[in-house]
Amino acid sequence: MVVQLGTVIVTGAAGRIGSTVREHLRGEVGRLVLVDRVPMRPTAPTERAIQLDLTDLDAVVEALEGADAVVHLAGLADEAPFADLLDSNVLGTYHVLEAARRHGVRRVVLASSNRVTGFYPVGQVVDPDAPVRPDGFYGVSKVAVEALGRLYADKFGLSVVCLRIGSFEDEPIEPRYLATWLSPRDGVGFIRAAITAPDVHFVTAYAVSGNTRTFWDTAAGEQLGYLPVDDAERYAAWVPGSETPSDATAFQGGAYTSPEYSLRHVMAPPPPS
């Protein structure tokens, strides 16, 4: 395959999405730099692996030297104590953007989440310009990720794409996923488009497969040049509960919107001594 993507840095390369991106992009790059805080081993001549913690700004700056594009997938991927989310998701993203600014990186792709709008009702189609309504502390951290990306685009001229990633699974396994599923094939397609789309200042797009039941406007993703090819509906017959009509007033975030889902991560104050 013709090399066309130059040097691409993938943070969180050992994770589920990172591993999939690695597998599909290694043949399309001049160099693929795999960054994670767990050790990794290069498996192709184009690969280089770097073990680091994204809270170390100097290490991140060094890792991004020579990069043409950065795909930032690292971070906590679910609800957690807020301090941990700030460290991993917000501070880590700030360091990636700051390193990209210093090196003049051509494109930064940030992994946001559909959960920044989890409190909208299922019956409402939401586009990326709608006010954020995060469904938990994790969603709040991703709102901050998007805000940092916008700041670095507007203030420092970085070209930034924020992808609000759907439910990244091999197949949809629950009713909510019939709307939110992002297949591995479409996930890679969106990320490839986010790296290569021309004339991008700042774009936020829902990265979701072409699901019949989706409740997100995907026009921004199409503007990046990618049309999803998979549809969760082909699996509907095997998903328990798929025939039950959805409640249009229920929240898009489903179980993530429950108070208990977040309160279990709130640290109780110590008892008085």
Place of tokens 């279990």: 264
Write out the residue range of the structural domain in which residue 11 sits.
7-263
In a domain? residue 270: no
In a domain? residue 32: yes
In a domain? residue 174: yes
CA 96 to the chain's CA centroid: 14
In a domain? residue 272: no
**What's the number of domains the chain is made of?**
1
Q: From CA 187, how far away is CA 74, in angstroms rounded?
A: 15
In a domain? residue 273: no
For residue 260, what is the enclosing H or E element?
A: helix 259-263
Contact residues for 131 (Cβ-Cβ < 8 A; gap 6+) = none
The model carries a pTM of 0.95
Query: How distant, in Å, are the alpha carbons of 77, 165, 189, 206, 245 from that of 218?
Result: 22, 12, 14, 6, 23
CATH label of the domain that carries residue 129? 3.40.50.720
- Identify the active-site residue in 94, 120, 138, 256: 138
> Smallest Cα–Cα separation from 177: which of 213, 206, 229, 134?
213
Per DSSP, the three-state class of 152 is: helix
Place of tokens 């949809």: 172
Give 219-267 as a 3 state SS string. HHHHHCCCCCCCCHHHHHHHCCCCCCCCCCCCECCHHHHCHHHHHCCCC
Q: What is the mean pLDDT of the chain?
A: 95
In a domain? residue 268: no
The token pair that represents 65 in the structure block: 């030297």
Quick: pLDDT tens for 43-71: 999 999 999 999 999 999 999 999 999 99
Q: Give the DSSP letter of residue 68.
A: S
The verdict on whether 94 is a catalytic residue reads: no
In a domain? residue 269: no
First-to-last CA distance in the chain?
A: 67
In a domain? residue 1: no
Place of tokens 């597998």: 23
Query: How distant, in Å, are the alpha carbons of 68, 216, 234 from that of 31?
Result: 10, 34, 37
Q: Residue 205's beta-bridge partner residues?
A: 163
Report residue 5's pLDDT band, with 50, 70 and 90 as the boundaries: confident
Per DSSP, the three-state class of 77 is: coil
Quick: pLDDT tens for 76-124: 999 999 999 999 999 999 999 999 999 999 999 999 999 999 999 999 9
Quick: pLDDT tens for 171-220: 999 999 999 999 999 999 999 999 999 999 999 999 999 999 999 999 98
Q: From CA 31, how far away is CA 228, in angstroms rounded?
A: 26
The token pair that represents 45 in the structure block: 């001549």
